Amino acid sequence: MKHPFWVSALCVCALSGAARADVVDVGLGHSPRVGMFEIKLGSYKPSMAGSAGEAYSIAFKDQPMLLVQLEFDYQFFQKYGSLGLGISVGYAEKYGQTFLVSDPSKPADERVHLKIVPLALMAVYRLDYGAIHWGIPVVPYTKFGVAMVPWWSGTSTAQVSNTRTGQRQAGHPFGLTFTAGLSLLLDVLDPRLARDFDTDVGINHTYLFAEFNRLNNRLFNKDGYDFSSGYFMFGLALEF
Amino acid sequence: MLSRLLPLLLVGFATAAQAQTIALTIDGRSDIALGPSDCSSGSFIVTWANTALASTCSGDLELWVTTGSCDIKPGTGDVKFDNIASTTFRTTASGQSSSMRFADLPLFVGGDAGSCGSAEIAQKMTVCGAFLQQRPVTLACEKTSASSSPTLSYDAEPPVAPVIDGVSGLSNALRVSFSPKDEDTRTFQILYAPSGSSADTFVLSSTVTRGTTQATVANLENDKEYEVRVYSKDDAQNRSKTYAAARGTPVAALALGDLCGELKNCGNAGCESTSGPVMVLAVLLLSVLVRGARRKRS
């Protein structure tokens, strides 16, 4: 128990070895792979540098948002790993305390909210050669692309409110996104079931994954809210 | 031999008789509520449904409304619909009665009856139906009641006014919390007007159902006092004679961008005007990448 990493590695190797005979023929006699669908969750906290960060801190007590994302990748190259084009859409919201305009020291009877819908268009590369041909159940991958973060903020009585100076509390800043992750091929747990899953519904492989995301929202716009962040996401991927 | 044949004979008779069932509803419902507001122009129609059409009996389907319980024929003071002809209800799966005005219900006609809309009474009336049906075994035609009898609940008693639990000021709005004081309450009516306004200037903000205990009165002016009145209404659309009233003032709340005061870079939106072309370039780059890979593949 002192070395959980080595224990995990051993388990993965054992599973890999046990399932190897079944996994070797993955790709042979299976339906062709077209793309990947992912559903993932993570804790996301925009950096909100400077005064915007103070606003976020006051309203939401510096707590992160729960981000839910769906991603669809289309794979167009599958010779040495798979290269594809992916689109993702996410949603996160946070509710917090606001204060009276007339006396900012007094809390208002309503709440302020921040809602975001991060969108991204990415090139996706998965090093799944080992999983497909040698039965290694761990697939590293990376993604890089452009992102847009539509956001809006309001109070209990308005989805989008204006500041005292009349600035509308909504926008859609652009940025770049980078992801690096590791996915675990679940087929090794029950290769026969995995094969049935492919035969019945066309799902070639199922993965559990963890990934680190880096969103930079400050490259193209220096003003406004900064939704740049580094955050982890965890989820389930279905390759079909 | 006879003991073996008897059950078969009984089944045979029963099958031949095919017990008819007439089900009655009012506008598809088994119970409707009506109040004084329905008296002036309201009327209703009874729908009948016949579940087994075959019958050797004749005789019309009688329909009537009674303040008592249903029998196989109308009693004194009961109000009758036009009969449904035997040829109609025995050969058709369903149909409708003639129309009856609420003001003609037995509760409001006759010697010592009150007039519809005037008396503060609450009473149930039942729609009854009867027809001749062939009995099994004897094969005799006997008067039988309809299998279901819908009720009309006349209620002229208004519910008790609700209680306002609190009013809080929001940005350009007031949030009102209330609770019913009467089991009969089905909906709440929320009205508002600037404080000091006369009764006829109150505007209906919303009508919410009993399960809702909060309502927001929107589109108000900040820092101006308003009076909110909440009425109860029951199923028969009777509105409480009195109302619950409370006053409140909408107060503006700070937007997220205001929370950091006068500091810079706060709450600035719509500032990504230069990013559009960059986005287009990035998409173009990706598409070139895709095309390149496809060419290589082919």
pLDDT values of chain B reduced to their tens digit, one per residue, 298 residues: 445 555 544 444 444 445 678 889 987 888 888 888 887 778 888 998 888 765 678 888 889 999 888 888 888 888 888 888 888 888 888 888 888 888 888 888 765 666 777 766 778 889 999 988 887 777 788 888 888 889 988 888 889 999 999 999 999 999 999 999 988 899 999 999 999 988 889 999 999 998 888 999 999 999 999 999 999 999 888 899 999 999 999 998 888 888 776 434 444 433 333 344 445 555 565 666 566 556 655 5
Point out which residues pair with A145 in neighbouring strands. Answer: A122, A177
Mark which residues 116-145 of A lie under 8 Å from B by CB. Answer: 121, 123, 145
- Please calculate the CA angle B254-B256-B262 and round it to the nearest 5 degrees: 75
Q: Is the minimum CB–CB distance between A163 and chain B shorter than 8 Å?
A: yes
Contact A109 B168 (CB under 8 A): yes
| Chain A residues with beta carbon closer than 8 angstroms to that of B290 | 76, 85
Q: How far apart are CA A149 and CA A202, in angstroms?
A: 33
Nearest-neighbour CA in chain B from A36: distance (Å): 17
A123 membership: H or E segment, kind and range: strand A119-126
Return the pLDDT at A8: 44
DSSP states of A141-153: EEEEEEEE--EEE
Cross-chain CB nearest to B265 (options A52, A153, A156)? A52
- A189 Cβ contact partners less than 8 Å away, ≥ 6 residues apart: A15, A19
Interchain CB distance below 8 Å, A171 and B216: no
- Residue among A112, A148, A172 minimizing CB distance to B255: A112
- Tell me: pLDDT of A24 over 50: no
Q: Tokens in use for B231?
A: 């009425």
Sheet holding B244-248, edge to edge: B203-209, B187-194, B226-233, B244-248
Q: Which residue in the set B259, B263, B282 is minimally distant from A98, CB to CB?
A: B259
> What is the average per-residue pLDDT within A132-141?
89
Q: Which residue of B has its CA nearest to A122?
A: B286
User: Is A102 part of the contact surface with chain B (CB cutoff 8 Å)?
Assistant: yes
Burial of residue B52, with CB atoms counted within 10 A of its CB: 0-12 exposed, 13-18 middle, 19 or more buried: middle
Cβ-based contacts under 8 A for chains A and B: 178
Of A52, A157, A220, the CB nearest to B260: A52
Query: What is the per-residue pLDDT for A222?
Result: 67
Please list every residue in chain B whose beta carbon sits closer than 8 Å to the beta carbon of residue A52: 257, 260, 265-267
Examine the pLDDT at A107 and tell me if it is beyond 90.
no
Is B265 in contact with A174 (Cβ distance < 8 A)? no
The predicted structure's pLDDT at residue A143: 95
Percent of chain A with pLDDT over 70: 86
Q: Could you tell me which of B208, B183, B41, B209 has the C-alpha nearest to residue B122?
A: B183
Residue type, B27: D
> Quick one: closest CA in B to A107, which residue?
B253
Average pLDDT over residues A193-213: 89
Q: Are B232 and B160 in contact (CB under 8 A)?
A: yes
The helix (run of H) or strand (run of E) holding residue A239 is strand A229-239
Give yes or no for residue A204 having a pLDDT over 50.
Answer: yes
**CA A114 – CA B188 distance, rounded (Å):** 32
| B256/A54 CB distance under 8 A | no
Task: Please report, as a single letter, which amino acid is at residue B25.
Answer: T
Token pair belonging to B78? 């009961």
Point out the residue among B173, B270, B283 whose CB comes nearest to the CB of A171: B270
A49 neighbourhood in chain B, CB within 8 Å: 265
Confidence of residue A66 (pLDDT cuts 50, 70, 90): very high
- Give the distance from residue A50's alpha carbon to the nearest chain B alpha carbon, in angstroms: 7
Q: Which of B25, B67, B55, B75 is closest to B131 using CA atoms?
A: B55
Interface of A with B in 26-85 (CB under 8 A): 49-52, 54-56, 58-59, 76-77, 83, 85
Residue A36 confidence class, pLDDT cut points 50, 70, 90: very high
Q: Are A122 and A178 in contact (CB under 8 A)?
A: no
Predicted pLDDT of residue A48: 80
> Is residue A76's pLDDT more than 50?
yes
Packing angle, helices A191-201 and A4-23, rounded to 10:
60
Select from A101, A167, A174 the Cβ nearest to the Cβ of B272.
Answer: A174
Contacts of B127 (CB under 8 A, 6+ apart): B24, B26, B46, B63, B64, B65, B149, B150, B151, B152
CB B201 within 8 A of CB B118: no
Q: Residue A21: what pLDDT?
A: 37
pLDDT at B164: 94
pLDDT at B113: 60
- Asked casually if ipTM beats, i.e. exceeds, 0.95, the reply is no
Using alpha carbons, select from B197, B176, B196 the residue that is nearest to residue B248.
B176
The per-residue pLDDT for A159 is: 87
User: DSSP character for B240?
Assistant: P
Across the interface, of A55, A148, A221, the residue whose CB is closest to B274 is A221
Beta-carbon separation of B254 and A110 below 8 A: no
CA B184 – CA A63 distance, rounded (Å): 45
Distance CA B184, CA B206 (A): 19
Q: Which residues contact B196 (CB under 8 A, 6 or more apart)?
A: B227
pLDDT of residue B297: 54
Residue B289: how many CB atoms within 10 A of its CB? 14
Which one of A151, A225, A227 would you mutate to disrupt binding with B, by most B Cβ within 10 Å of its Cβ?
A: A225
Measured between CB atoms, does B147 come within 8 Å of chain A? no
Q: Report yes or no on whether pTM surpasses 0.80.
A: no
Residues 6+ apart with CB under 8 A from A147: A118, A119, A120, A121, A174, A175, A176, A177, A215, A217
CA distance B229 to B241: 12
Mean pLDDT taken over chain A: 83
Q: Are B296 and B288 in contact (CB under 8 A)?
A: no
CA B149/CA B65 separation, integer angstroms: 10
Q: What is the DSSP string of A6-48?
A: HHHHHHHHHHHHHHHHHHTTTTSSSPPP-EEEEEEEEEE----
Listed residue (B177, B259, B170, B258) closest to B222, CA to CA: B170
Query: Does the pLDDT value for residue A10 go beyond 70?
Result: no
